[in-house]
Amino acid sequence: METFNHKLNVYFETWMGPRDQRVRGWLLLDNYPPTFALTVMYLLIVWMGPKYMKHRQPYSCRGLLVLYNLGLTLLSFYMFYELVTAVWYGGYNFYCQDTHSAQDVDNKIINVLWWYYFSKLIEFMDTFFFILRKNNHQITFLHIYHHASMLNIWWFVMNWVPCGHSYFGASLNSFVHVVMYSYYGLSAIPAMRPYLWWKKYITQFQLIQFFLTMSQTIFAVIWPCGFPDGWLYFQIGYMVTLIFLFSNFYMQTYNKHSASLRKEHQNGSPLSTNGHANGTPSMEHAAHKKLRVD
């Protein structure tokens, strides 16, 4: 296994250049196979989990969901705060920042971004809760693609570009996750659900995040500073895939929902204020059961 890891590391360095030595010895970062194996295990659970739960009663998981979402909300806030304050007081350049130009700030950014990488492993639990609660309609291609790809992408980021221009997307995403996980934590408490009105805007917020990250990455292409171009082009391409997939999700979930409401109104089918019409759940209620994107 050690020989295999060595050969794999040599291959990566031949392809992408020398690795950043500042993260040597850090948990999960020295070799790629553990991260890849965890991703394969995740995909196997995604495949086998619904089959296992098919003839079983769903689990509530309410208490665990509150604690889980609260924990990720706090972790996301910590990462956002630490990244923003480090960049602000450390004088990082917004348009482009190399990975070896501000040692003290770089070291702090690297520490926080390791937690960001590790949080992508923790977030696999999103899918596992869907499986345990038999919310299989939530386990979409977008959901799996986003979760599986982020852990692997950030292993490579942490090994080659663990600071500098890499901070921006992680900062925005951490802030979005503060909003998102606080929403899902509160929604696990039945008494709070009538007061949660901003679910629709979470997806809009995510799309704004992707556009801003892509724009800021393009700045580094236009005004280069030594940050590797290959990573910039990769991030732009990855943002394009997320914009496409999240936009499709938004249109499928909310635009069709609005069109259905207009059609029902034109056909004279009023919806009662408690969200039901003739004993059938309203479209508004159905929309809340639709896909979760994170």
User: Which stretches within 54-198 are classed as H helix?
Assistant: 62-90, 103-122, 124-132, 141-160, 167-187
- Helix H or strand E segment including 229: helix 229-250
Residue 286 lies in a domain: no
Catalytic residue among 6, 55, 146, 147: 146
The number of CA neighbours under 13 Å toward the Cβ of 44 is 6
pLDDT in tens, the chain (294 residues): 778 988 999 999 999 999 999 999 999 999 999 999 999 999 999 999 999 999 999 999 999 999 999 999 999 999 999 999 999 999 999 999 999 988 999 999 999 999 999 999 999 999 999 999 999 999 999 999 999 999 999 999 999 999 999 999 999 999 999 999 999 999 999 999 999 988 889 999 999 999 999 999 999 999 999 999 999 999 999 999 999 999 999 999 887 655 554 555 455 543 333 333 333 333 334 444 445 655
Residue 23 lies in a domain: yes
Residue whose C-alpha is closest to residue 116's, from 40, 26, 200, 204: 26
The pLDDT score that the predictor gives to residue 235 is: 98
**Domains contained in the chain, number:** 1
The pLDDT score that the predictor gives to residue 282 is: 33
Helix (H, G, I), strand (E, B) or coil at 276: strand
Residue 133 lies in a domain: yes
Domain that holds residue 228: 1-253
Residue whose C-alpha is closest to residue 60's, from 147, 199, 191, 189: 189
Phi/psi at 280 (nearest 5 deg)?
-105, 135
Residue 111 lies in a domain: yes
Residue 202 lies in a domain: yes
Residue 210 lies in a domain: yes
Q: Clarify whether 143 is annotated catalytic.
A: no
Residue 95 lies in a domain: yes
